[in-house]
Amino acid sequence: MQTEARVGVVVEGGQRDGCTRKYVQVQRSHQQAQIGTVSQLLAGGIAGAVSKTCTAPLARLTILFQVQGMHSDAAALRKACIWREASRIIHEEGIRAFWKGNLVTIAHRLPYSSVSFYSYERYKNVGGFLAGVTAATATYPLDLVRTRLAAQTNVIYYRGIWHALRTISKEEGLFGLYKGLGATLLSVGPNIAISFSVYETLRSQWQLQRPHDSSVLVSLACGSVSGIASSSAIFPLDLVRRRMQLEGAGGRARVYKTGIFGTFRHIIRSEGFRGLYRGILPEYYKVVPSVSIVFVTYETMKKLLSSYPADH
């Protein structure tokens, strides 16, 4: 699951990517220019898309490591090595392969971020949880397609977004587009709770000890730590989601047939508890740049769009 950003309100949805569901809260002064709803949606969506594009190589490495156990004997699984896998991708698939599936990531991220942003404003007091559930459900088919495209290596089964959507609908039915959604929804609450509690605790302590430090520095640092904390907590659910998304796809064997908890048991039995954290290192590496890029992009877009009249 994925980095979330809250700049006054929710800016970027993320599962990890769950997720990509971590938050950075930046206090906005009353003197700052207000922007309208449409501008908020644009700024939030663009910030999410730019962040995902910049960190796409690490995101693809995470996915490849997460699904490794699906097509390898547990005894034959090698320790995940980022540099070795990156070298393999460059040698066998070319440098552009690091962005495989990025177009659908952007297609997913723009509405996801916008729905998160808009829902948060509408739900107010329970905004974080309901915005996350709404955004995840509304855009889930795109997230599933992104996973399947990113997991393709030498054998190409899906030729693009629309081909993947048509093929999955035809071969697996409408519900095939929602495989693993339960794991995603289960992660929303813990992700938000951990992100906000860690962020607020760190921020309040920092401001007590160093009240004159830059608010931007405090937000980025605390947001990065809270992102790492929430990633660590929900990563097993994210891994289960990825495995379920790829179940039976493109000729893959159907291994997990007993739902979320059955998938957990299967992974633990065959790969051990460490198998639930396969691929977490590149996920850690992308937290800080994700938070920073979202913050900078959102603030830039907000300034550009603030010259337009608010639509509310």
What b/e readout covers 93-126, taking b as 16+ CB neighbours within 10 angstroms?
eeeebbebbbebbbbbbbbbbbbbbbbbbeeeee
Residue 26 has pLDDT above 80, yes or no: no
Give 268 or 1, the one with higher predicted confidence: 268
* Alpha carbons 71 and 257: distance in angstroms, whole number: 16
Residue 202 has pLDDT above 50, yes or no: yes
Amino acid 105: pLDDT: 86
Q: Tokens 């998160």 appear where?
A: 116
Give the pLDDT band of residue 309 (cuts 50, 70, 90). Answer: low
Q: Are strands 9-12 and 5-7 parallel, antiparallel or unpaired?
A: antiparallel
Lowest mean per-residue pLDDT among 23-32, 73-82, 180-189: 23-32
pTM: 0.79
* Alpha carbons 246 and 169: distance in angstroms, whole number: 14
Alpha carbon 113 to chain centroid, angstroms: 11
Amino acid 16: pLDDT: 41
Give residue limits of the domains in the chain: 5-305
Residue 6 has pLDDT above 60, yes or no: no
Amino acid 21: pLDDT: 39
Please state, rounded to an integer, the average pLDDT across all residues of the chain.
Answer: 79
Amino acid 79: pLDDT: 65
Residue 113 has pLDDT above 70, yes or no: no
Helices (H), 55-101: 56-66, 82-92
Measured CA to CA in angstroms, residue 23 lies from 11, 51, 105, 270, 279 at distances of 9, 14, 19, 34, 21
Mean pLDDT for 96-117 is 81
Residue 307 has pLDDT above 90, yes or no: no
The string of pLDDT tens digits covering residues 33-77 is 456 667 777 887 788 889 889 999 999 999 999 988 776 544 445
Amino acid 132: pLDDT: 74
* Alpha carbons 220 and 114: distance in angstroms, whole number: 22
Lowest mean per-residue pLDDT among 12-26, 156-170, 174-188: 12-26
205 Cβ contact list (under 8 Å, min separation 6): none
Query: Would you say domain 5-305 falls under CATH 1.20.120.1200?
Result: no
Amino acid 239: pLDDT: 95
9: burial class by Cβ within 10 Å (0-12, 13-18, 19+)? buried
The string of pLDDT tens digits covering residues 266-277 is 899 988 999 999
Mean pLDDT for 227-240 is 93
Helix (H) or strand (E) holding 6: strand 5-7
